[in-house]
Amino acid sequence: MDAKKIRKALADISAEQDPTVKSAKLASLCSALWAEQGVQLVVVGGSAIEILTEGAYASGDLDMCHATAATLPIVQRKEIMALLDAKGGPRNWQVAGMYLDLLGPVESFARTPYRRVEAPYGSFLLMKPEDLLVERVLISVYPGENQAARDCAKKFIAVILGGVIEVNWDEVRRLAKLPEYRNLLECVKLVKEVADELKIKSPLHPD
């Protein structure tokens, strides 16, 4: 991507006042620049959930990990982020009026693909909803009750049940049985609760 195009993108993202669109555009620009160096970035955690759900959950920071095995050396990271007039580093950057945290290798157990959004500066990847769902349900109850995580999980489930995020429920079941989570009962319970509120059948219900 040439310098002129980067400057134009940066001006657009800096001026953007919708937090979710701003995050998505920044993810698009960063993904394009890092991909030129052979590193595939992926939006993770609450940032990914926000882009998937519009749940009004995320804060003013965007969390990304690298999906490719190795990341870039610190010097090269600084060179890329300098193209964006980013301050800080090497993992936390202030750029275009928000924060970008580059957190290291992505942790995913699902066998489904990362979801992909074709955005203005190039496509970007989102963490797999199967991982996000099981993880968010876990956070809502462990190590203790967490209302914000529970509300976030409920909104996420509602959007999935509404048919606007495609999810592999067999994979959700498999992940929830893994030693890393062991929360199938909690997942079944919360999905049923949301399904009941939406007056539809739960895809995780045994019958």
Binding residues vs another protein (CB under 8 A): 17-22, 24, 52-61, 94, 97-99, 112-113, 115-120, 123, 126, 148, 151-152, 154-159, 161-168, 194, 197-198, 200
Cα distance from N-terminal residue to C-terminal residue, the chain? 52
Is 33 or 125 the residue whose CB approaches another protein more closely?
A: 125
Nearest C-alpha neighbor of 108 from the set 42, 167, 24: 42
Is 68 or 169 the residue whose CB approaches another protein more closely?
A: 169
Cβ atoms of 56 and 147 closer than 8 Å: no
Nearest C-alpha neighbor of 47 from the set 105, 112, 101: 101
Q: Which amino acid is at 78?
A: K
Number of neighbouring beta carbons within 10 Å of residue 36? 11
Is 98 or 176 the residue whose CB approaches another protein more closely?
A: 98
Q: Please, what is the minimum distance in Å from the beta carbon of residue 70 to another protein?
A: 25
Q: Please, what is the minimum distance in Å from the beta carbon of residue 117 to another protein?
A: 5
Is 10 or 194 the residue whose CB approaches another protein more closely?
A: 194
Cβ atoms of 44 and 15 closer than 8 Å: no
Q: Please, what is the minimum distance in Å from the beta carbon of residue 71 to another protein?
A: 21
Cβ atoms of 43 and 62 closer than 8 Å: yes
Q: Please, what is the minimum distance in Å from the beta carbon of residue 165 to another protein?
A: 5
At 101, list the tokens. Answer: 């945290």
Question: Rounded to an integer, what is the distance from CA 24 to the centroid of its chain?
Answer: 10
At 122, list the tokens. Answer: 């190039």
Q: Please, what is the minimum distance in Å from the beta carbon of residue 156 to another protein?
A: 8
At 143, list the tokens. Answer: 């190590």
Q: Please, what is the minimum distance in Å from the beta carbon of residue 172 to another protein?
A: 12
Is 68 or 94 the residue whose CB approaches another protein more closely?
A: 94
Cβ atoms of 65 and 42 closer than 8 Å: yes
Is 72 or 121 the residue whose CB approaches another protein more closely?
A: 121
